[in-house]
Chain A
Amino acid sequence: MNIDKLLKQVEKPIRYTGEELNMCKKDLKDIKFRYCFCFPDVYEIGMSHLGLRILYDLYNRRNDTYCERAFAPWVDMEKLMRENNIKLFSLETKTNLNEFDMIGFTLQYEMSYSNIINMLELGGVPLLSKDRGENDPFVMAGGPCSYNSEPISDFFDFIVLGEGEELNLEVTDEWIKWKEAKEPRIKFLERIANIEGVYVPSFYDVSYNEDGTIKEIKPNNKNAKEIVTKRIIKDLDKVTYPEKWMVPYLSVVHDRPMLEIFRGCIRGCRFCQAGFLYRPVREKSVEVLEENARNLIKNTGYEELALSSLSTSDYRGFFKLADDLICEFKPKNVNLSLPSLRIDSVSLKLLDEVNNVRKSGLTFAPEAGTQRLRDVINKGITEEDILKGCELAFRSGWNNVKLYFMIGLPTETYDDLQGIVDLANKIVEVYYSIPKQERTKGLIVTVSTSTFVPKPFTPFQWCKQDDVETINKKQEFLKTNLTNRAIKYNWHDSKTSTLEAVLAKGDRKLNKVLLRAHELGCNFDAWGEFFDYDKWMQAFKDCNIDPFFYSRREIPLEEILPWEHINIMVSKEFFKKEFNNAMAEKVTPNCRAKCAGCGAAKFGCGVCFETKGVCV
């Protein structure tokens, strides 16, 4: 195939050419298993995703396996590919998707679902699992949205739940055995249905009540487990890390190697799905991280290294690690990037040291405007913390503060929105209370609001979402009341969040809607310029499904949820307790302060055992 001719006509042709530094090259004749990691968005976004880097490296360390990559082609390239009958291909060997043994998608955000379907079509892979035959690849998925993959389950042969470092290799081993045994397609799915963490949607029947709620979810194959439990890595020091980090030619979103310092989060914010999905918190040791860091820089020549986790300050070895890394890398002109840091005097001093040139913005995420609502969502940050942090920051030369809030949170009233306005104004006051010569000119306070999306596996999974009109009114309120010249207000498109909630909490009935939306041309929904809300509503209408049955209904605590058969080792009882605590405005301490008994301790590792001296 001659893609060269197409590449001359598209924007950013290096999205499709591969050949980056540290790209894996293999001789196909040694390979038993060919896998393609598919990221359902453009190259620049996909290459910024840590999961891709980890799995690419993991697979390619095996001599019998070759893992390649494919991304969603941008609209210009897609058009040319369709016109010239060129199928979606991998970057490494330019092999069409339908020629792989297995292809895997990562479900990072609901708004990428339409891209997945489009990529399957472009790759020549039958869209629905039931239509795939003996010569088609197996199509799998993993990632955060796969814990409720029901809305898109018809498109996948199987789903992997949890961390992949062991799980994906077990699936690979089984595939090789299956291939050698020359068994029919179904047998492979039966083989892996036994592996903990593998979910084969077609092995489960879902029946419904007359009102559309779920009556029962039941396995229909003897190999399928009643309940599928996620997998985790107990000791992160013992698994591989992608030290041979690929270096994209194109400036990607996060153009620096990431050093993952721990998984999970001790905080327990009640709206945050990641905070529950990745429990329990498991840290890597400072020694292993320093070795990883050294090799990452040696193998890439990058000028910056970023620590990566859900909350950097919660890493117990943080100051030692940061000091050591600065000591080692500063002389080599390598900067350290420290995202997601709690702002206090010590961390500001550290930021001063790593950020010796420009003082870019500092970010706070109060998420809600009043202490009452922050207690509801269990966001353990007080107004005093924020104002103090800002004052320290202003005094050390920062003049650009970003504040993230959510609107539409459960129990929210206009008092809480007024709280956002008040907090922003107080920050401006703090700035002006500092003598002129002790602060940097030109204050900018950016207030950003996103819209609350209730997610599965959170205490708010039963809550309803505001409708578009209500959200727009609330945004309008903030627009009118955030009047100070130093304050800038950004808000998220309410219609995108509306659809996100439906796809997050939906059940299997949504599969036909997704297919219909694809037929209507929905693609790149995460990109404002392509998202077409009306087309989606048309798709729901054509399928005779009310989207808001899923997102705008208070779900009774006893109702069977679409993800009832999936177990993340945080119990439903715990979520109910947390839901009641939220309604009672009661705070739950973080995992290190006091165990809340969520259930993750059953894994037998991580933060749950820190005080007992195990697994540290």
Chain B
Amino acid sequence: MIYRMKFEKRDEVKYIGHLDTMRTFTRCIKKTNLPIKFSSGFNPRVQLAFALPLAVGVTSECEYFDLELNGDVECQEVIDELNKNFPDGFKVLTCEKLEKAKGLMSLVTEANYEISILVSTNNNEEIVAKLNEAFNKEQVLVTKQAKNGKEEEIDIKPLIIDLQVVDLNYNTIIVKVHCLAGSKNNLNPNYVVQVIKSVVPEEELDDYNIHRKKLILNEQ
């Protein structure tokens, strides 16, 4: 039986990369009393599949992984066992049983991100206006570092479904992005940050945080 877990990754663990997260989960799952199904072969592994990898430094409340177990276990028990053994910062939120599962990664179609920007200016309005202007252009160009070290310009506008700039006052501005995601067309939220950095002067940008709010799975 396959169990589809939704989990959150909070601030304290946000710098743990995708591969390190997978390794940690494997170890934590081995600590549980769950009837784990191992792969066959020379190096048996815990059967674990993740959805869209989360970039380093990004928090999330909607991560997914599929775990295969031998036999039928109550969903609540799976949640409890995992949360008992996970380090702080990771928490399983929901669990769903599936008879069969298509590769999780292939199901991802869209995502929502919230990028909160901390600014040290009392002129939020001006920044909001600048941001709106930047994102409302015909093309939103960013620089992409290709694998061979070369830089190329790409337009992220076609990847953005919807984008709103919200002024929260108290020096905080939130950019809400609804975008394409998955293995075909995917917007890396760090490109949105790149645009923000090009608009907000460096000395006014105190810090920022990227949060994945929602991952939309296409479950036909």
- A interface vs B, CB < 8 Å? 2, 4-5, 7-8, 13-14, 17, 19-21, 23, 25, 247, 249-251, 298-303, 332-333, 356-357
Contacts and interface: CB of A to CB of B under 8 A. Distances in A.
Contacts of A249: 13, 16, 20-21, 24
Nearest to B20: A249
A301 B81 CA distance: 14
A357 B24 contact: no
Interface string B11-53: 0110110001100101111110000001000111000000000
A202 to B, nearest CB: 41
B126 interface: no
B193 to A, nearest CB: 10
Given A19-B89, A21-B87, A8 B57 contact: yes
B98 interface: no
A247 B27 contact: yes
Nearest to B45: A333
5 contacts: A4-B209, A21-B28, A251-B20, A298-B31, A357-B43
The 8 nearest A-B residue pairs measured at CB: A301-B27, A301-B30, A13-B15, A301-B31, A21-B87, A19-B12, A249-B16, A249-B20
B27 A300 contact: yes
Contacts of A301: 26-31, 85
A247 B20 contact: no
Contacts of B13: 17, 19, 249
Interface string B175-216: 000000000000000000000000000000011010000000
A301 B85 CA distance: 10
Given A4-B207, A249-B24, A303-B30, 12 more contacts: A2-B206, A7-B57, A17-B13, A19-B12, A19-B89, A21-B27, A25-B88, A249-B20, A251-B20, A298-B31, A301-B26, A301-B28
Contact of B207 (A2, A251, A356): A2
A7 B16 CA distance: 12
Contacts of A356: 42
Contacts of B87: 19-21, 23
B20 A14 contact: yes
A14 B16 contact: yes
A310 B59 CA distance: 44
A275 B31 CA distance: 37
B24 A247 contact: yes
A29 B44 CA distance: 46
Contacts of A332: 30
B166 interface: no
Contacts of A14: 15-16, 20
Contacts of A251: 20
Nearest to B32: A301
B56 interface: yes
A21 B24 contact: yes
A249 B27 CA distance: 11
B72 to A, nearest CB: 23
Contact of B20 (A7, A250, A300, A302): A250
A333 B28 CA distance: 14
Contact of A5 (B31, B88, B207): B207
